[in-house]
Amino acid sequence: MDDFGEFYAARKDAVYRAVLVATRGAPGAEDAVAEAFTRAFAHWATVRAHPNPVAWVLRTALNEQRSWWRRLRREVLAEPPEVGVEPGAYAGLDARLRALVLALPRRQREVLALRVLADLSAEETGGVLRITAATVHVHLHRALAALRTQVGAVTPDGLRLVEEAM
């Protein structure tokens, strides 16, 4: 079990940041990540043998988050309350850039989070999101183009801001 402890310590923050960005900081993101790591621990022999254990945990966390929203929609007809995310949760992302990333369409945001923040390959990202690597490239290209356009409108050297903030 020691190697699970090392795996958890090394990857928990990156997984949490990726899930936060992919889900727009949705309530329950922290719980989804905790549940994913709990399931990974329970099945560590299988997860350790997986070609990419981080992708397995990310997929599980995203599925858990989606299930949480489905249960919430079935149980409550009203809008969920606004829940703030701790300021340190988005460590390393400029506030303006964070707002632009959160405004991206869901799939672009997920691809950006997994490719850039979680540092997964296009194939690994495609496996997590159940899309092809080519589709990952398309969504990443569109997300980065949208960010460059928006950041360029905010600051004269917008491309440098995107690269520095990520």
pLDDT in tens, 137-164: 999 999 999 988 887 755 544 444 444 5
Is pLDDT above 90 for 23? no
Burial of 134 (0-12, 13-18, 19+ CB in 10 A): exposed
Cβ–Cβ under 8 Å, residues 143 and 112: yes
> How many structural domains are present in the chain?
1
Q: Tell me which residue range forms the domain holding 32.
A: 2-165
Which pTM was predicted? 0.54
Determine the distance from the C-alpha atom of residue 74 to the mean position of all C-alpha atoms in its chain, rounded to a whole number.
Answer: 24
Q: Mean pLDDT lowest for which of 41-50, 83-92, 128-137?
A: 83-92
Cβ–Cβ under 8 Å, residues 135 and 115: no
Is pLDDT above 80 for 69? no
pLDDT digits (tens, 9 = 90+) for 55-68: 999 999 988 888 76
